[in-house]
Structure 1
Amino acid sequence: MTIAVIAEEAGVSVPTVSKVINGRPEVAPETRQRVERLLHKHGYQRRVSPGDGPVGLIDLVFAEIESPWAMEIVRGAETAAREAEASVVISVLHTHAGPGRDWLERIAARRTDGVVIVASRLSTGLQGQLSARSMPFVVVDPEGEPANGVASVGATNWHGGLSATRHLLELGHRRIGMIGGPGDMLCSRARIDGYRAALETAGVPVEPELIRHGDFLVDSGHDQGHALLSLADPPTAIFAGSDMQAFGVFEAARQRGLRVPADLSVVGFDDLPLARSAWPPLTTVRQPLQEMADLATRMVLAMGRGDSAEARRVELATDLVVRESTAQPSLTPSSSQW
């Protein structure tokens, strides 16, 4: 498929199609959309000339960057980029809908060696636009199920949820609260499914009132922690879908006069550096964030060199790290505290 064929079908000139591919601004929006639809429809791939070598830039695109979680991703990407003598350019979209056309045109205009998209949705339209511009891309921790042909790197979230809940069950807890992330996020659903599987395997009923949703940040852990501890029969343990949420649960417990872990056991997810220095140190599921970003960046660089012929989906292992925020349930909790 050539630019000339795309131009003929779109009813425009060859230079106009070239401007769309290269992110030039002087194209009418309706014309741009018509050309992009045809580029995606025909699976157009820009021919790379001998002079189009690496430019030494990797684009790292976040939906949000408000958490230490994002900093771990940055460190991993920078490690891989530095070894390849490249630099990392960070973009923050402030939306989980994925990169938009304006962002894409800016990147096309200045060129990049590849794009690592973090915790965002990736529409088939955007996938086609990236491919048409010969931009290698990998999704880290995708929000939804990646489309066929999209390379992605994630973690074994289901197993992490299973191991966290199983740990609490082995300590003797039977009323275990769960605070997940947004209900439509793939990683959150997987962690909750692992939680459910552990309970069902142990013969413990799954109670909907014990499952809450937040946004993986401290405030949602605090608010949903209060909601769980306000139940007539509150949980003796809470599994939070992120370390930041777990810290919010810590604060909710403190405000209610509860001690962690004497009165309430808490497990997080991520194993951020803060987890080790929290008080008490947080039992958590280690998600290899730096390794995920490092691998995704290496995959993008390899795709740019033509070394990776097929997209891959990779899930790195999670591990439970037991510290001091979990213990056996108290036999006689004070009713005034609850």
Structure 2
Amino acid sequence: MASTNVTIADIAAAAGVSVPTVSRVLNGRKGVSAARRQTIERLLEERGYERRGRPAQGSGLVDFVISSLESQWASALLRGAQAEAARHGADMVVTTTDGRPIGTPDWVEHLARRGSDGIVLVVSELLPAGREELERLRVPVVLVDPVGGGAQPFPTVAATDWAGGRDAADHLLSLGHRRIGFITGPIQQICHRDRLDGYQAALRRDGVPVDPELVRHGDSLVGGGRRLGAELLSLPDPPTAIISGSDEQAYGVYLAARDRGLRIPEDLSVVGNDDVELCQWISPQLTTVRQPLAAMAREATRMVIELSRGGIRPNPRVELATSLVLRASTAARDQSLTAGDR
């Protein structure tokens, strides 16, 4: 009877070979002597190693599922995933969900029929039934940024979002700002909650009260940034700086400020998040928290491909570091107008 407890590492240790050597045998690849291959096959049989019910060579396909391709954020992820798939000699199939939750029985069945070697998910919500079906199919799945809340059954690649939110707030605090607004992206996503928590922690550590009136929950889009930026700037005591959960939304804040005749950064400092190409196109160029988007997608794709080829299960969560990129959209508070001057 097959055992789910036997791993490739166990077989490799028993055979006195490396894990990649066992993986080559499992996937029917060359480069292993006949005698060694026979030993590994015998151990796989004796130890009851359970192979996935897939052709030995696999399909050579990786599914990349993302909510939309209409943002520069998505383009950076896609470039990273495609580069890594090509490096491994795999093809990639891209599916967009238009922001809808995924994981219906029809959707999972469609993936199963295609026979992809693994799935990279970059979506806002994965239905519980979909998680269960994907686990049952035993197709390798890796998430880019956590999907939904709570523990996830699949490995995850994320950025250090809490640190990013903290660093953005620390930068503005160091410039003398105390009324700092924050416009999140979709707050149901863990990454946006983490950034908000980091911002609030920085304020508290600096002795600045956390004012709920200065927080808005956005959609990461330009229109949302313009609307919510206008709300913050219309407050009786408006912020002198605003942090946005995305660069595109930060550009919406630019528009809201200009609608009111405010200059950036003289009258309002703005910090974005992601570091997409837009940051260097707009004027003034945007200070932002750089997410290693392409690297995150590359790592997730690498993990999926290696898992599909019998590799060792990776750490359940991999975090890649964010960094603050200083440009021209932030300035010291003494260069800003006071609320009474506006």
Deviation per residue, 1:119-142 (Å, 9 max, x gap): 333344322311322311101112
Aligned residues of 2:237 and 2:339 also touching (Cα < 8 A): no
- Compared CA separation, residues 53 and 223, structure 1 to 2 (3 A): same
Please list, as runs of the form range in 1=range in 2, the aligned pairs for 1:88-99 lying within 5 A after superposition.
Answer: 88-99=92-103
CA separation in 2, counterparts of 1:285 and 1:332?
22
Give the counterpart letter for 1:89 in structure 2.
V
* Structure 1 counterpart of 2:88: 84
RMSD: 2.0
Gaps of at least 5 residues in structure 1 are: 3-44
* Structure 2 counterpart of 1:193: 197
* Structure 2 counterpart of 1:62: 66
- Compared CA separation, residues 304 and 314, structure 1 to 2 (3 A): same
Aligned positions, number = 295
Give the counterpart letter for 1:162 in structure 2.
R
Gaps of at least 5 residues in structure 2 are: 3-49
Question: How far is 1:95 from its partner?
Answer: 3.3
CA separation in 1, counterparts of 2:123 and 2:341?
38
Q: TM-score, normalised by structure 2?
A: 0.81
Task: Pick from 261, 273, 276 the counterpart of residue 272 of structure 1.
Answer: 276
Question: How far is 1:174 from its partner?
Answer: 0.5
Aligned residues of 1:64 and 1:95 also touching (Cα < 8 A): yes
Please list, as runs of the form range in 1=range in 2, the aligned pairs for 1:1-338 lying within 5 A after superposition.
Answer: 47-48=52-53, 51-145=55-149, 147-310=151-314, 312-330=316-334, 333=337, 338=342
- Compared CA separation, residues 109 and 166, structure 1 to 2 (3 A): same
Question: How far is 1:335 from its partner?
Answer: 6.8
Deviation per residue, 1:162-187 (Å, 9 max, x gap): 00000000000011000001222111
- Compared CA separation, residues 332 and 79, structure 1 to 2 (3 A): closer
CA separation in 1, counterparts of 2:233 and 2:137?
52
- Compared CA separation, residues 81 and 47, structure 1 to 2 (3 A): closer
Runs of 4+ that moved beyond 6 A: 334-337
Q: TM-score, normalised by structure 1?
A: 0.82
Percent identity at matched positions?
Answer: 49
SS in 2 for 1:179: strand
Aligned residues of 1:46 and 1:132 also touching (Cα < 8 A): no
CA separation in 1, counterparts of 2:257 and 2:164?
24
